[in-house]
Chain A
């Protein structure tokens, strides 16, 4: 009975696994996002080499440039790890510096994407040109949209941090944002490999 009473007091926070429901739920959501991107990537792969007219990938994809933007995105993941560490240590300074870095690097990546899309359009590759254009822009476009959403999320956290509302006890929020950010980065690695590197 005492045990039951103890649970009654604390069952607000009782979980069967000891994990935060937020974490479990978010991992589940990531699972569905994996399927989402897997389908988009598969569609791209199905149409690889099947465009009837150009521009073709080998003519237009700029690997050196995209390697730089990939590196930038990777570094943003590193910054994310450091930002979480900062929060967990309770250091407002470290939190803001590294969250800021995530934002800047993420925005830089998006900048590269915008530049690339623009450049392609000027070279005659649009979503309606061929199946490469269709599958490339939709795949990388949705990825970019996910990065953009992540940046908005990070800016929100940064503002919270600036207002001293990200103490160590709130580290779960940053951890989950980090999960999202790393996921988006991993998706990019797969895209970079399959779209750019392996042609």
Chain B
């Protein structure tokens, strides 16, 4: 057992555990971690005492040859009281800070709180910032140093939002309808992030086939970078809507929503040029845009800010190209992976609810026809989506 523990701690040191529960980066996470350390040492103490006693007994009181019957001892009130009272004291020592922490972490924060409405659906996460008017999916950008409150709600079954370095998980429950005059109940999670970084998490309440692949990325940025991300989101990417969708615009036609001065850059070719001249566009991207808006029914489920696409069934795809992963944290966001995903979502992620290029999906009673896209269309589509960073 000791050797095992040693091995474990040694190997632990060399590794980076992206979903470690003992490396918190928020006040919320730190509060529970402090409590964990306390409880851990109490339990180790008790374990040591019990095992030490057991080891001693097993050696000392082994039957010796010729030993007669030992003296029968039926009990001892003093001992019973002692080993009732002592554990009771330890219990009190643990319960008091525990209850304090219970109340502390559930208290809503004060001040300039950033609220995010989190909706968990099989098998992805929607994040909506009501005060900012921003909606994104699976990758949650947050500012460091500002109190954040996540409002949790499920669009179908019970999920659980768990980003271990942020802190403990909280269930994401479907909202129960209540009669008029009453408030429906939702769960909240409150924290302030203390350091920048990308923190990994995933759904932690079994929700069906792809439960294990419903990942989360929290991108904690400085206040400036976060603001820049928000601004980017609100400003459509240069290739998002392109020429008017009704016209078959070619390269060079001024975009209807140009003027992108975003720091979330694209290729140099997409930088604004002076005098309102639209930059030359990759023809594959333009082709992909056509596919998206006219050759399949993507807009039924997906939204891209600044374009006619306003579907809310599936993830919001604004600035999709800038995300680090696709399929809810499952794969790096490369064009190759994107092509594989659109072609056969269930081949990539069993249980995925997105219809495939050539097959239907029945999503909770509704049947969605195939996207009806061939390889060429899908390649273009991937280029289009990746172009919006």
Contact = CB atoms under 8 A, between A and B. Distances in A.
Interface of A: 49-52
A66 to B, nearest CB: 24
7 contacts: A49-B179, A50-B178, A50-B179, A51-B179, A52-B177, A52-B178, A52-B179
A131 to B, nearest CB: 10
Contacts of B179: 49-52
Contacts of A52: 177-179
Interface residues of B, number: 3
| A interface majority secondary structure | loop
Contacts of B178: 50, 52
A120 B378 CA distance: 57
A126 B137 CA distance: 41
Interface string B165-189: 0000000000001110000000000
A99 to B, nearest CB: 47
A84 B141 CA distance: 76
A52 B176 CA distance: 10
B173 to A, nearest CB: 16
| B interface majority secondary structure | loop
Contacts of A49: 179
Nearest to B178: A50
A52 B178 CA distance: 7
A51 B178 CA distance: 8
Contacts of A51: 179
Nearest to B180: A52
Nearest to A52: B177
A49 B181 CA distance: 12
Nearest to A51: B179
A50 B182 CA distance: 10
Q: Which 4 A-B pairs rank lowest in CB-CB distance, beginning with the nearest?
A: A52-B177, A52-B179, A50-B179, A50-B178
A50 B181 CA distance: 11
A52 B177 CA distance: 7
A49 B178 CA distance: 9
B180 to A, nearest CB: 9
B267 to A, nearest CB: 53
A125 B176 CA distance: 21
Contacts of B177: 52
Nearest to B177: A52
A86 B102 CA distance: 63
A52 B179 CA distance: 5
B179 to A, nearest CB: 6
A125 to B, nearest CB: 16
B90 to A, nearest CB: 34
A87 B197 CA distance: 84
A49 B177 CA distance: 12
A31 to B, nearest CB: 30
A49 B182 CA distance: 11
A50 B180 CA distance: 10
A49 B180 CA distance: 11
B29 to A, nearest CB: 34
A51 B177 CA distance: 9
A50 B184 CA distance: 11
Nearest to B182: A50
Interface string B139-183: 000000000000000000000000000000000000001110000
A44 B179 CA distance: 16
A74 B177 CA distance: 39
B184 to A, nearest CB: 11
B69 to A, nearest CB: 28
A14 to B, nearest CB: 29
A142 to B, nearest CB: 25
A49 to B, nearest CB: 7
B155 to A, nearest CB: 19
B175 to A, nearest CB: 12
B181 to A, nearest CB: 11
A35 B283 CA distance: 71
A32 B345 CA distance: 50
A51 to B, nearest CB: 7
B177 to A, nearest CB: 5
A120 B118 CA distance: 41
